[in-house]
Structure 1
Amino acid sequence: MSAENLPTRSRLVHDALRAAGIAGEIIVLPDAAATAVLAAEALGVEVGAIANSLVFWSDGEALLVMTSGAHRVDTAALAARLGRGKIQRATAEQVREATGQAIGGVAPTGHPARLPTIVDEALAEFSEIWAAGGTPHTVFPLSYDELVRLTAGTVAKVD
């Protein structure tokens, strides 16, 4: 699908990918894939290869955690590892304000401003990972190294 035919939020993601030199194409799924399990089923990949974009709130700012779909984020352990105060789930309003995207479709890029980002080290196990493309119906492939570079993320254990 050409970028012009993508939803507005996905066009922003597409443009950010191209600016970063990432060639993965955004695809539109027939059904929403707002969870890692749904995305993995739609794509025919392991759930661990889905890079969930989870937005948290910590120390007065949004924190994006790119985690393997096979993991749950241990917020207390992650806060201790990062030397941060309490990490808690962002509200739907905070997610939209920080990313310009809705929960279930948050991409690792295409936000109004760069977010501090943590990238789950477990995603390195996969040669190809999939992330949301700005809406619950859009996804794109990239490598682990591309994800870390794209987000300027800090690699960490998140579970």
Structure 2
Amino acid sequence: MHTELRSPAGEALTALVLELFRVNNLILGWGDRLVAPLGLTSARWQVLGAVGTADRPQPVAWLARDLGASRQNVQRIVNDLAQAGLVEFAPNPHHKRAQLVVLTEAGAAASAAALALYDPRSNVLAAGIAAEDLAAARRVLAVLRARLDAEGTQP
């Protein structure tokens, strides 16, 4: 191990990153089980949510950027959602080939149903954790995300 090269903050960050990996995997499995009755997966639910919460219809590349995911992966999921009738494509007045992704009525209903399942479970998961602690964790993650975004593709 090269822990002697890490500052105390670097060591704490490493522990946080390892915990995030574990939590991410658990969240994805939890989300899959939560929305399975709706015919969704965590990935589909995440993309559906991004489409539904966007200020205006966006092309796949913008959705991928906002999600921090690859365009190809988001395109595959959007295609699956379109085949399921949950999203549709609309012309993009600014780009001939990059169509806009729009929720259908069925997509809006599925998104609302997923939130109806999620909201009570989020309250159970958050029970006993101070809202201020959760807000602090979100702020730390936002700073890390911004720093990683600024690095771009650099290792």
TM-score w.r.t. length of structure 2: 0.23
Q: Quick check: which has more Rg, 1 or 2?
A: 2
Which of the two has greater strand per residue? 1
Looking at both structures, which has the greater relative contact order when contacts are Cα pairs under 8 Å and sequence separation is at least 6? 1
Greater per-residue helix proportion: 2
The two structures have a TM-score, normalised by structure 1, of 0.23
